A and B are shown apart, each in its own frame.
Chain A
């Protein structure tokens, strides 16, 4: 993980941290100690917020609420029930996390602006409750007299010991956050954020499970931060639930960078000291905070502290153990059966009872004029659209009605007419994310001895796959820097990385040169020979007929012909639909 851009950066950060720690412990005035303690609290809050706002890419406005909730849980339990830290702290984490899990089903399936609105309404509701439930929360006056940290009868003194205690939690939080996002789990987040359609339908990543985990994690971190805040301030009021804390948290996250752990910590230190530096502005200093946020968004959307960020993909080349044999999990020999599949869009019947059977290990070509329902068929098969009638089965597994990622995990991968690749991710990582997606998980990485080791293994395997698809040497390039033909090939490599039983290719050769098309066809035949069934949609009948063992022609949403390619192309109905009446009369 020592991949700062230059070696000098390796020393800057630990050096600065050491200097600051020395200052905080030995030289800081009581007032400075308090500010540094609060900076630690905010650092923990922001580290948590990075999960949902950074890694999951969802603008939740409830982070301040989870923070305030954690503070109130500690405050209420400590003042009214006399509970100690070892009881209050876990509950301050659990209760916000439980609230997040509870509202997640309603909130997380919403798109950006609705998600922001719903989380905002949630925080207003909790604030309203805190103000009006006076017997428990102390109402607008708040809860005074929150004791310091005491564990099993031992009291932690305030001042420097509390400062050190808070920063120990920041360190624990940072290490945990690093473990969670440094490995394959973090790569899965990036893939979902940058290529959501492909993540589900081409790879089989469960995006909603990722979002849920990010939301609950962010709430847990916020709860911990809130608990420490209550101990530091000794008095809390409903203000801790207000929008003010949310805004500070958002500002810190934008300034520090949404994905950088050192960035989060630096931004927390910087912004808690900002009011001190802006003191000359008197009552305008809060407005100055807004100016700083605005400037950060406009001029440094990736964070002012961007130089601290490891370039996300400047990972070292994996050790040269390439050609480590890919475990050949041969796909199951089953048929893909489509029965009477129908779909209408408004009054338009895009697919009208299509029947189709794909044999394992063979290439089936699918042709048909524009608007004949080819892409609709693919979208129905991969769960991006739901059919009005009919069904699709893989062997005995019912595919219809399943979410995209389950269909992909069952063994059906696809590519898109416009390649859906995660911009800013390397070619290697694009493929690495697609290897055994079912084995990527929060616990695996959090509890692994070395979460980056499994990612390194995936990268090694990805290199082998890339070599296999003629993309060797491009591993370190970013997806969006590839030329068109390579992008399409990369999409196929990614889809093949999961060893699917069937591969569905939607117009893969569009824009190819003749030479590219030919070598692409050879690659497909190799794939089929290794046992992977392929459904190939294309507009070039000669190319499709040349490599397919079965050809299917779709017109007006129904299958009008299927069989051996030469026979199908001779049928008058096919010639009429596909080549037009002119060719028929000319023939």
Chain B
């Protein structure tokens, strides 16, 4: 029984991590640069939901799902702003420069939210309600199920966008080779901005999903970003499938080791696992999807 419940928790946590990691890879593939503000986008999404909840009448503000469109739009705009200030002015510079500029945006976000909301942990409302669904002798958390369903819907939507629409083909072409894409008449700048919007909005949604069970503070961006980063490194730099798989791996590792031993041990173990992967298989468990830029 415990095993089933833990697995459900891990699956819910993993689907939130997957959203963060997928967003990270979208930006990575479009720009070749690491977006260090990805964790802060998660945090921003959570706090936008918390802020929005206070504007709704009582009848609605216990349902997190109502905040979803607001979070998507809010963090989408944040992504657009991020690309405008931290990427576009620096696109001719080496990738490390973008690394530093997104760190700067991360600092701005962390400290602005700290000033606005204070450093105390806050929680978002559950998506549909906080009850349990009883299935035989299994008692399943409705929030976990709703998180999995929401993340699955978003990932499916992303898959549809990328593989079944003209816009998705343009996005993928840009990710594969911006020069050729430009030569084919694709507006590369617009595609890059769109990648930032999508990537940040996915992260923001993860904030809404995560911050119900795991309380959120404005300073949590760094750790969340590190997890997305590890998921992408484990899954193979630049691979969407690998990122999702890496996110699931991290979540299962965390949930089970934390239950079995303790939370600090789980976290330390995760870093050790990362070192092992970097040392033994620098191309990631699934192989490298993008050419490394020397």
CA distance A170 to B148 in the complex (A): 55
CA distance A120 to B222 in the complex (A): 10
Q: For residues 268 through 292 of chain A, which have their beta carbon under 8 Å from a beta carbon of chain B?
A: 282-284, 286-287, 289-291
A286 close to B107 (CB less than 8 A): yes
A297 close to B97 (CB less than 8 A): yes
Q: Is residue A474 contacting chain B, with contact meaning CB distance below 8 A?
A: no
Q: Which of A111-119, A315-323, A437-445, A554-562 contacts B (4 or more CB under 8 A)?
A: A111-119
Given contacts A118-B274, A124-B226, A284-B112, contact A297 B292 (CB under 8 A): no
A293 close to B104 (CB less than 8 A): yes
Q: Taking the nearest CB of chain B, how far is it from the CB of A77, in angstroms?
A: 25
Q: Taking the nearest CB of chain B, how far is it from the CB of A500, in angstroms?
A: 24
Q: Is residue A83 contacting chain B, with contact meaning CB distance below 8 A?
A: no
B residues in contact with A121, CB < 8 Å: 226, 230, 271, 274-275
| Count, chain B residues at interface, CB 8 A | 43
Chain B: which residue is nearest A59 at the CB level?
B96
A110 close to B278 (CB less than 8 A): yes
B residues in contact with A283, CB < 8 Å: 111, 114-115
Q: Taking the nearest CB of chain A, how far is it from the CB of B285, in angstroms?
A: 14
Given contacts A110-B278, A121-B274, A125-B268, contact A289 B93 (CB under 8 A): no
CA distance A132 to B263 in the complex (A): 11
Which residue of B104, B267, B275 contacts A297 across the interface (Cβ within 8 Å)? B104
Q: Is residue A128 contacting chain B, with contact meaning CB distance below 8 A?
A: yes
B106 close to A290 (CB less than 8 A): yes
A297 close to B101 (CB less than 8 A): yes
Chain A: which residue is nearest B229 at the CB level?
A117
CA distance A293 to B109 in the complex (A): 13
B34 close to A113 (CB less than 8 A): yes
Q: Is residue B294 contacting chain A, with contact meaning CB distance below 8 A?
A: yes
Q: Hey, what's the 0/1 contact readout for B12-35 against A, CB within 8 Å counting as 1?
A: 000000000000000000000010
B226 close to A287 (CB less than 8 A): no
CA distance A112 to B294 in the complex (A): 9
Which residue of A124, A282, A287 contacts B271 across the interface (Cβ within 8 Å)? A124
CA distance A243 to B222 in the complex (A): 8
Query: Which of the four size classes fits the interface of chain A?
Result: 35 or more
What DSSP secondary structure best describes chain B's contact surface?
helix
CA distance A113 to B31 in the complex (A): 13
Chain B: which residue is nearest A254 at the CB level?
B100
Q: Taking the nearest CB of chain A, how far is it from the CB of B283, in angstroms?
A: 10
B230 close to A106 (CB less than 8 A): no
CA distance A131 to B230 in the complex (A): 22
Q: Is residue A247 contacting chain B, with contact meaning CB distance below 8 A?
A: yes
Chain B: which residue is nearest A293 at the CB level?
B104
B230 close to A128 (CB less than 8 A): no
Q: Hey, what's the 0/1 contact readout for A128-143 against B, CB within 8 Å counting as 1?
A: 1101100000000000
B103 close to A250 (CB less than 8 A): yes
Given contacts A111-B292, A301-B93, contact A294 B104 (CB under 8 A): yes
Q: Is residue B243 contacting chain A, with contact meaning CB distance below 8 A?
A: no
B residues in contact with A114, CB < 8 Å: 233, 237, 278, 282
Q: Which of B84-92, B162-170, B193-201 contacts A (4 or more CB under 8 A)?
A: B84-92
CA distance A298 to B90 in the complex (A): 7
CA distance A106 to B274 in the complex (A): 11
Given contacts A106-B278, A112-B96, contact A287 B115 (CB under 8 A): yes
CA distance A247 to B221 in the complex (A): 14
Chain B: which residue is nearest A281 at the CB level?
B115
Q: Which of B93, B237, B275 has the most CB of A within 10 A?
A: B275
Chain B: which residue is nearest A105 at the CB level?
B279
B105 close to A290 (CB less than 8 A): yes
Q: Is residue B264 contacting chain A, with contact meaning CB distance below 8 A?
A: yes
B89 close to A298 (CB less than 8 A): yes
B100 close to A128 (CB less than 8 A): no
Q: Taking the nearest CB of chain B, how far is it from the CB of A26, in angstroms?
A: 36
B233 close to A128 (CB less than 8 A): no
CA distance A283 to B107 in the complex (A): 13
Given contacts A114-B233, A125-B268, A297-B100, contact A247 B107 (CB under 8 A): yes
Q: Is residue A144 contacting chain B, with contact meaning CB distance below 8 A?
A: no
A286 close to B267 (CB less than 8 A): no
Which residue of B85, B268, B278 contacts A294 across the interface (Cβ within 8 Å)? B85
Chain A: which residue is nearest B223 at the CB level?
A124
Q: Is residue B108 contacting chain A, with contact meaning CB distance below 8 A?
A: yes
CA distance A283 to B112 in the complex (A): 8
CA distance A113 to B112 in the complex (A): 27
Given contacts A125-B268, A284-B112, A297-B90, contact A117 B274 (CB under 8 A): yes
A residues in contact with B237, CB < 8 Å: 113-114
CA distance A246 to B126 in the complex (A): 36
Q: Is residue B95 contacting chain A, with contact meaning CB distance below 8 A?
A: yes
Q: Is residue A401 contacting chain B, with contact meaning CB distance below 8 A?
A: no
Given contacts A110-B282, A112-B95, contact A290 B111 (CB under 8 A): yes
B278 close to A293 (CB less than 8 A): no
A117 close to B279 (CB less than 8 A): no
B residues in contact with A294, CB < 8 Å: 85-86, 101, 104-105, 108
A116 close to B104 (CB less than 8 A): no
B residues in contact with A132, CB < 8 Å: 264
Q: Is residue B256 contacting chain A, with contact meaning CB distance below 8 A?
A: no
Q: Which of B86, B96, B292 has the most CB of A within 10 A?
A: B96
CA distance A511 to B271 in the complex (A): 51
Q: Hey, what's the 0/1 contact readout for B59-94 against A, CB within 8 Å counting as 1?
A: 000000000000000000000000001100110010
B34 close to A250 (CB less than 8 A): no
B residues in contact with A293, CB < 8 Å: 100, 103-104, 107
Q: Is residue A531 contacting chain B, with contact meaning CB distance below 8 A?
A: no
Q: For residues 76 through 118 of chain A, which have their beta carbon under 8 Å from a beta carbon of chain B?
A: 106, 110-114, 116-118
Which residue of B97, B106, B223 contacts A301 across the interface (Cβ within 8 Å)? B97
B residues in contact with A59, CB < 8 Å: 96, 99-100
Q: Hey, what's the 0/1 contact readout for B218-242 against A, CB within 8 Å counting as 1?
A: 0000110010011001000100000
Given contacts A286-B114, A297-B90, 13 further A-B contacts (CB under 8 A): A111-B294, A117-B230, A117-B274, A121-B226, A121-B275, A128-B267, A128-B268, A284-B112, A287-B112, A294-B86, A294-B105, A294-B108, A297-B100
Chosen A-B contacts, 18 in total, with CB atoms closer than 8 Å, are A57-B96, A112-B96, A117-B230, A117-B233, A117-B274, A117-B278, A125-B268, A243-B222, A247-B103, A254-B100, A284-B115, A289-B107, A290-B111, A291-B108, A293-B104, A297-B101, A298-B101, A301-B97
Give the top 8 A-B pairs by smallest Cβ distance, nearest first.
A290-B107, A290-B108, A294-B104, A286-B111, A287-B111, A293-B104, A283-B115, A121-B271
